[in-house]
């Protein structure tokens, strides 16, 4: 089993991916990790690139209806789903996805601050 890490393709997301992998997925890197770089307007599409059966990690993606629906659908194919985000616009969606994913959310200047 591996993991798919889906992250925002800006410096905030890239640093968050590095920190998460270093702290939680070190033993899987590099051969058992699928990295998916995305942007908020297409994250619901790129989430489909997650390899079924492994962990799904979503970092620094501002949640919206389409993204939270995609995460809900994918949660049935992944034993563990983790979402880490800091965007204020994500707050209304956090409660919706907490029943099937581990959510680390706080209004902050960056997602890496939540992982430090």
Q: Hey, where are the domains in the chain?
A: 13-22+60-66+76-90+99-116
DSSP H helices in 25-109: 43-46, 65-74, 91-97
Residue 35 in 3-state DSSP? strand
Q: What's the mean per-residue pLDDT of the chain?
A: 96
Residue 116 confidence (pLDDT): 82
CA 110 to chain centre: 14
Q: What percent of the chain shows pLDDT beyond 70?
A: 100
Question: Going edge to edge, which strands form the sheet with 102-105?
Answer: 33-38, 3-8, 55-59, 81-85, 102-105
Overall average pLDDT of the 20-28 stretch: 96
Residue 88 confidence (pLDDT): 96
83, burial (CB in 10 Å: exposed 0-12, middle 13-18, buried 19+): buried
Residue 14 confidence (pLDDT): 98
E strands in the chain: 3-8, 33-38, 55-59, 81-85, 102-105
Overall average pLDDT of the 64-83 stretch: 96
Q: Is the pTM of this model over 0.75?
A: yes
Overall average pLDDT of the 91-109 stretch: 95
């Amino acid at each position: 089993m591996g993991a798919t890490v889906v992250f925002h393709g800006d410096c905030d997301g890239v640093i968050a991916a590095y920190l998460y992998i270093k702290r939680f997925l070190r033993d899987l890197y590099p051969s058992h990790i699928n990295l998916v770089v995305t942007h908020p307007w297409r994250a619901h599409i790129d989430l489909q690139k997650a390899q079924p059966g492994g962990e799904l990690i979503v970092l620094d993606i501002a949640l919206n209806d389409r993204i939270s629906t995609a995460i809900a659908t994918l949660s049935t194919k992944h034993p563990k789903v983790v979402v880490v985000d800091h965007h204020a616009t994500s707050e209304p969606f956090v409660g919706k996805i907490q029943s099937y994913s581990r959510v680390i959310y706080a209004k902050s200047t960056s997602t890496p601050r939540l992982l430090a």
